[in-house]
Amino acid sequence: MEKIITRFPPSPTGYLHVGGARTALFNWLYARHMNGKFILRIEDTDVVRSTQNSVDAILNSLEWLGINWDEGPYFQTRRFHIYEDYIQKLINSGHAYYCTCLPEELDIMRKKAAAAGEKPKYDGTCRNKGLARTDNAVVRFKAPLSGITIVNDIIKGKVVFQNNELDDFIIQRSNGTYTYNFVVVVDDISMKINTIIRGDDHLNNTPRQILLYQALESEIPSFAHVPMVLGKDKTRLSKRHGAMSVTAYKDMGYLPDALLNYLVRLGWSYGDQEFFQTDELIEKFTLENIGRSPGIFDQEKLLSINAEHIKRDPPARIAKHLLPFLKEQRCTVEEDSHLESVIRTLNKRSKTLKEMAEGALFYFTETVSYDEKAVKKFLKPSVLKPLKLLLDRLQILETFNEKNLEKVFENLIKDTEIKFGKIAQPVRVALTGKTVSPGIFEIIEVLGKKKVVSRLKKAIELIANKT
RNA sequence: GGUCCCAUCGUCUAGCGGUUUAGGAUACCGGCCUCUCACGCCGGAGACACGGGUUCGAAUCCCGUUGGGACUACCA
């Protein structure tokens, strides 16, 4: 069987957004699943809107997501010599011609057609003039006037277009650059792309591209037009819908695997399964299971799948992604700070890494910052005695593990006749400064004897000074 | 306007003519668990857009209506 070759061709006119990321993901997964090749190509023929910043942002986002490419990135602006060859081929074979109609004339032409209730197509003024190349001429593709063009789409099925709906579209601009429909075909031909997976907003472009393939006597690739991702208002995704760039989710504390997991399930399914690790996706991803209707981007569901990944992924992997967020909180994490143990106490109560970093803060700070209300409510004189007793007993305890700690508290409760609930909260406030934290035994164990003892002492002092 | 695509709980979806009182996930509501917050567990409410066919039988096939989306550039 022929080796599958897919590609992702972003235009560098902004950051990589989640919709684009999904398209990249589908192409990447399919190539990996089929043991094929995945190519990255930057479509920067719109020199006005393309920027280097965007290129960098897109590359960084893909890397962060773990979507790696086998070839590229190719840049279309560096391939103009190839396009020129193909233009000449089309002109020589009579499939393209020079046109000297001005933009203003075209504008009037279109408005007139619209007013008359007709299609705003190019009227073919220069189609048969046999014009030679001149400075401000554009090159147009000579499209057939009748007949049909069929797109055999893997997802949509057979889609039939009447050729008379199409017009002689421009393939080379008057400034010498080339237009999308042309370069995309030339690139896909020359890069031997045989499977094109893209948003179904391109379905209407496909007959034009197929016509180009035919004029160039090239084999037509397989097309799979995936339904688009829409915003909450069911319109095309844009900034209006809030955070849409991949980096935004990175910064909010999402795991790349979680974003991938969410994105793939938006339009693709594998029975009732919701949770996937990325290597599992590669194994299970096929084009047949892509749905036909558009999906709405749902932040709530993404958040919950992120929480699921934080819960289930190995702490070591979480640690790698958590570190930047801890630094952001300005806390110094030493090599021996048992980060993985810290994570184990927080992974069930964090939906994002940012949340986790905030929750982990107390483990690392030198001095506990007390929440005023918490102190007022729980560090009262009445707990002074049990707190002191606890301190004494912890100081002589050899190993801090859950079993030993449980015993210490059991005895403490027996001896002081105080309820567990009555002592747990004061201890929590003493150790973390807050009323909310992981379980008491967990934090004592992970904090370690030294920190626990000093924090208990400090709390005891605080209460003593108040009275 | 024209062309094309799409239509199952609020959202993501399973379903590919009978096994369905339409399943799961998420969000929401109630309960249990409990040292706080979470997690977890149990339960509840919630959908086949509408109308015609085809068929012994339709969420599933066909047609129409309605609704939504995309495209219609010397953007990609």
Predicted ipTM > 0.90: yes
Tell me the longest C-alpha to C-alpha distance in chain A: 105
Q: Residues A387-415: pLDDT tens digits?
A: 888 888 888 888 888 888 888 888 888 88
A1-72+227-311: CATH number: 3.40.50.620
Task: Identify the segments of chain A with pLDDT beneath 70.
Answer: 243, 335-337, 467
The helix or strand, by DSSP H or E, that contains position A100, with its residue range, turns out to be: none
Q: How far is the CA of A116 from the C1' of B66 (A)?
A: 28
Could you give the CA distance from residue A313 to residue A280 in angstroms, rounded to a whole number?
13
Q: Are strands A37-42 and A71-75 parallel, antiparallel or unpaired?
A: parallel
| SS3 call for A356 | helix
Which pLDDT belongs to residue A335? 64
Q: Are strands A96-99 and A148-153 parallel, antiparallel or unpaired?
A: unpaired
Which pLDDT belongs to residue A441? 93
Contact A263, A18 (CB under 8 A): yes
Those residues whose C-beta lies under 8 Å from the C-beta of residue A157, and which sit 6 or more positions away, are none
Could you give the CA distance from residue A438 to residue A348 in angstroms, rounded to a whole number?
9
Q: How far is the CA of A378 from the C1' of B34 (A)?
A: 19
User: Protein footprint on strand B: which nucleotides are under 7 Å from a CB?
Assistant: 1-8, 10-15, 23-27, 35-40, 68-76
CATH topology of domain A368-467: Arc Repressor Mutant, subunit A (1.10.10)
Domain ranges for chain A, please list them.
Answer: 1-72+227-311, 81-180, 314-365, 368-467
Q: How far is the CA of A363 from the C1' of B71 (A)?
A: 55
Closest nucleotide C1' to the C-alpha of A120: B72
CATH topology of domain A81-180: Glutamyl-tRNA Synthetase; domain 3 (3.90.800)
Which pLDDT belongs to residue A435? 94
Which pLDDT belongs to residue A336? 60
Q: E strands of A77-194, at which residues?
A: 96-99, 138-141, 148-153, 157-162, 170-172
Which pLDDT belongs to residue A67? 98
Which pLDDT belongs to residue A337? 64
> Given this structure, which CATH class describes domain A314-365?
mainly alpha
Cis omega before residue A10 (within 30°)? no
Beta bridge partners of A290: A268
| SS3 call for A97 | strand
Closest nucleotide C1' to the C-alpha of A101: B74
Contact A74, A41 (CB under 8 A): yes
Contact A192, A97 (CB under 8 A): no
Which pLDDT belongs to residue A397? 85
- Look at residues A55, A45, A49 and name the one whose alpha carbon lies nearest to residue A15: A55
Catalytic residue list of A: 239
Q: How far is the CA of A78 from the C1' of B66 (A)?
A: 49
Contact A287, A296 (CB under 8 A): no
Closest nucleotide C1' to the C-alpha of A99: B74
